[in-house]
Amino acid sequence: MAVDTNMPVLVVDDYKTMCRIMRNLLKQLGFNNVEDAADGAEALEKMQSGKNFGLVISDWNMEPMTGFELLKQVRADEKLKGTPFIMITAESKTENVIAAKRAGVNNYIVKPFNATTLKAKMASVLGDF
């Protein structure tokens, strides 16, 4: 089934510039329906408000709620647990990658990254587009 590029995508990052970069990269990839949140708590609130996000792309290091905690909360929520989730971080210690995978992350991107990497990881999670 073809990927619906009009689906809402939630970008979670406490660095506004990164949200803007993601918005531009996603726009280049054809995804124009992008929302952002400054931390896990704001993201969770947006997700629980009823909007059906087709993908969450989240940073790990955020306060007060980290991306990892957001991932665990999403996977524990009956309504949200199936939401595709990609983690993007500047640190990639093996134990963190493994912890994220065990918590149910669908893919993991190490910063800095480019549009090609982002597209490849999104395609591996959503299917080709």
Residue ranges in contact with another protein by CB under 8 A: 17, 20-21, 24, 60-61, 63, 66, 68-69, 89-98, 101, 106-111, 113, 117, 124
Our CB check for another protein shows the closer of 14 and 77 to be 14
Pairing of strands 34-37, 85-89: unpaired
Task: State how far the Cα of 127 lies from the Cα of 65, in Å rounded to an integer.
Answer: 29
Report, in Å, the least distance between residue 63 CB and another protein.
8
Report, in Å, the least distance between residue 51 CB and another protein.
25
Under DSSP, is residue 36 helix (H, G, I), strand (E, B) or coil?
strand
Our CB check for another protein shows the closer of 9 and 100 to be 100
Our CB check for another protein shows the closer of 16 and 81 to be 16
Task: State how far the Cα of 41 lies from the Cα of 55, in Å rounded to an integer.
Answer: 17
Our CB check for another protein shows the closer of 20 and 51 to be 20
Residue linked to tokens 């059906």: 52
Report, in Å, the least distance between residue 10 CB and another protein.
20
Q: Measuring CA to CA, which residue among 36, 29, 31 is closest to residue 12?
A: 36
What is the signed CA dihedral for 71, 74, 75, 77, rounded to 10 degrees? 160
Report, in Å, the least distance between residue 65 CB and another protein.
9
